[in-house]
Structure 1
Amino acid sequence: MTKEILLTGDRPTGKLHVGHYIGSLRNRVKLQNSGDYDPYIMIADTQALTDNARDPEKIRNSLIQVALDYLSVGIDPTKSTIFVQSQIPALFELTAYYMDLVTVARLERNPTVKTEIKQKGFKDSIPVGFLNYPVSQAADITAFKATVVPVGDDQEPMLEQTREIVRTFNRVYDCDVLVEPKGYFPAKGEGRLPGLDGNAKMSKSLGNAIYLSDDEKTVQKKVMSMYTDPNHIHVEDPGQVEGNTVFTYLDVFDPDKDTVAQLKEDYQKGGLGDVKIKRYLNKVLEQELSPIRERRAKYEKDIDSVYQMLIDGSNKANEVANQTLEEVRDAIGLNYFKNR
C-alpha cells in the first residue's frame, strides 16, 4: 500500500514549548507511528530568517535545540526524515518559479500573513521574504508532493494558497506534476494553548511558556505562577473555570476527565484553592514531560549523532526535492540541455 506523504516543520527561533507539543508534535508522532505515512519534518531555518535576518546567530543556536525537541517527543529518524530547509537548494528554485504565478495583491490578502505582519509590527517595512513566505511554503510542500500537512487552524489560508499555486501551475503548463495537499488539524480544544499569564499566545518573547526541556523545578515554579481567576481571592470563594489557565491545561493534559470535572465543580462552588489545583496540574504535567526530558538528556550526550541525523535527512530530502524540480523544469520547458 502506498503511504501518504506528510510534510511539517517548525522555525528554529528557540526551544519548543508545550504549546507546540499540543498543537502539532503529538500529532506528528501519532501519524509517524501509524504506518500510513512517510513523514518529512523540516527545520525551517530559511523561513525563520525572514524576520530574523539581522540575528542569524539566533537561528544557528536554535537549530540543534529544535532537533533535540523533535527527538525528545518521540519523532523517530528511522521512521521520519528530519531535514534542514536551507540545505535543500531545489526549494529556492521552486519558489522562484511559483513567484511568477502569484500576485503581490494575493499575498497581501492572505489572512495569516496579514495577522503576522500586524503582530510583528512591520507596518510599511515588510521584508520581501516575509511577504513571500506563503510561496516558499508552497515550494516546501510540493517539493515532496506532500498529500497531508499537519498544521494549526490558523494555517489553513497558507494551505489554500499552496493549493492555488498547484492548480495554476498544472493548468498553465498542462501537466499533473504538483499535488494538492490537505490539512491535518489538531483536535478541538488542542489547537492553541494560552500562555502562563492567560495571554492567548504562548511565546518566548512574552516569557509565558513552559518548554519541553525545562527541568522539574522550573516547571513547578512556572505552574505555581499561572494565571487563574483574579477574583478567587480566598479558598472559600466561588471560582471561575472559563478563562482559567490551570483548567485549560488540565483539559488538554489530564487523561482523567472525571477528576477534572470534579475539580471544576468544587472550584466553582468554593472551597478549592488555587494552590491545590496548581499542584495537581504540576503532577499531571510531570507525567507527560518526564519521559520527554529523559529522552532529550540521552540525545544531548551525543550531539554529533544528532547532526549526522540532520545530514542524512537532508541528503535524502535533496534526492526527493531534486526529482520534483526536474519534473517542474520539464513541465515549464527549461531543461534545454537534458538530452544533449
Structure 2
Amino acid sequence: MNKKKIPATLVTGFLGGGKTTLLSSVLKQPAGRRVAVVVGVPSGSGIDSEILRGKGADLVDNVRRLPLGNRIYELSNGCLCCTVQTDFQHMMQALAMCYDRIDHVMIETPGTELPITFLKHLNSHSLSALFTIDSVVTVADGSLLAGGGFSSDMNLIHSKVDPNLKHLYRAQLDIADVVLISKADLVFPAVRRRLQSKLQALLTHRPDIISMQHGLVNPDLLFNRDCESEQRLDVDKIKVDEQHIADGFDSVMVKLGRVDSDLLVSRLQMLIREQPVYRTKGFAELPNKMMRQVVQGVGSRINRSYDRCWGEGEQRSTHLQIIGRHLDSERLMATLRVAEV
C-alpha cells in the first residue's frame, strides 16, 4: 500500500523573531493534528527544544526517548526532535517511519541561516518520496519592523549596514510562502495595516501575510496550504553561499553554577554594551528556588520567567547560549562568572 506523503512546514526568521513561540503555540493548540516539531540546532545546544519541552510540559505523555532515535520525544499530539544539519536526513527518515502517528511536520531552522540546506534535503530523492513541503513560513517581529528595524536594540539596528545581515533578512522574506508578523499586539492597528501594505509592495511573489498576537496564531492558517514550495523555488537551482552568511556569527555556550538572577542580567547587559550580542537564551539555577528560570534576550531586552520545577535527580546548572558577531568568549565567560553565588 502506498503511503501518503507527510506535509512539512519550514519555519525561518531572524534571531528572536518568535519562531519558538510560534511552535509552542502550535503544540498547545494543534487543532486535532499530531504534529512533529524538528528544531534545527547548528551548535548542538538543544536549548530551543528544551524551551519547547518546558513550555509544553503539560503536553508530554511520557518524556521518553522513542526507539527511533535518542533525540525524539513523544508528546500527546506528536513528537519533538532536535537535530543538526548533518543528521537531518536521518532524523526525517526516522520520522517517516512514524507516518501512522504523524499528520504534519514543522521544522524550525536556525535564525542565522537560510533554510536552503533543509529545503534541498527535503527535495532529495530519499526524502521527496516521503515528504512534501507544505509551505515556508518566515516569522518577523512586527514591533521592530514597524520601527524600521529587523531585530532588537541599537546593536542590531545599526547592523543593518552589514550586507550579510541585510541579505540574510531579505532572503528569509523572499523565500516565504507565508510571512507571520509576530508580536502584532504591540503594534497599533493602523501601523500594522501600513506594515502589511509595505511588505506586500516589497515582496513581489505575494506571500500571505498573517499576524500572531499575544503569542497565539490559528493553526488552521498554517496547515494544509499545499504550496509545494520546492516547485515554486526550484530548489535544485538555488545557489546561496549560506555558510558564508552563517560564518559571520559566533555562538558561545556558557555553563555556570547557581547564580544571582539580577546580577546575571546586569552582567549580560554590560556585555551587550561592549560586544555585538544579538541573542541570549537558556536557563538559570537560582538559590532557594525549586523552579528553573528561563532567560531570553534579544539585544539588551532580556526577559525572565519560570517554566518548570527541576526534575528529581536532574543535574542543575546555568546554561546559556549567546549569539553575536566577533565575540570575545574569554571576556564573556569572565564577566558572567561574577554572577555565580
Query: Shorter-chain TM-score category?
Result: 0.3 to 0.5
Structure 2 length normalisation: TM-score?
A: 0.33
Based on CA coordinates, which of the two structures has the bigger radius of gyration?
1
Structure 1 length normalisation: TM-score?
A: 0.33
More strand by proportion, 1 or 2?
2
More helix by proportion, 1 or 2?
1
